[in-house]
Amino acid sequence: MSLALAPLDVSVEVEANLPCRKFDPDLWFSDSPTQLELAKSLCGDCPLRVECLAGAVERAEPWGVWGGEIFERGAVVPRKRPRGRPRKEDLARDAELRVEAEARLAANGLATSRNAVWLAA
């Protein structure tokens, strides 16, 4: 049984406290790197963060913030880069953030061979 399809005992009261229910849903699907980072931070205290992330990994969500991670073209990305050619220091920071994102996925049990997720460069 997958985590994404596992029945959840969620009351209406808990749903009302979910950040994605309190704030503008467009925030989780923004093109702005700053807004996506805000959405990621709002997911931090969500009681359904792990289930949300597991479901997004399983579905290979094409884009948006799910479970505190940014998805782009079905892969987890450490951060959304602005348009244009990246600076060298941005490339180095992206490599560090990619390692951190891999660690978060592994900590949630999502980096197994069954649920392999490719981190986009």
Sole residue written with tokens 């950040």: 19
What is the spatial distance between Cα 25 and Cα 30, in angstroms, rounded to a whole number? 9
Q: Which residues are annotated as a binding site for [4Fe-4S] cluster?
A: 20, 43, 46, 52
Q: Which residues are annotated as a binding site?
A: 20, 43, 46, 52
Cα dihedral sign, 19-21-22-23: positive
What is the spatial distance between Cα 26 and Cα 86, in angstroms, rounded to a whole number? 26
CA-atom Rg of the chain in angstroms: 15
Residue 58 CB contacts under 8 Å (≥ 6 apart), including other chains: 2, 3, 4, 115
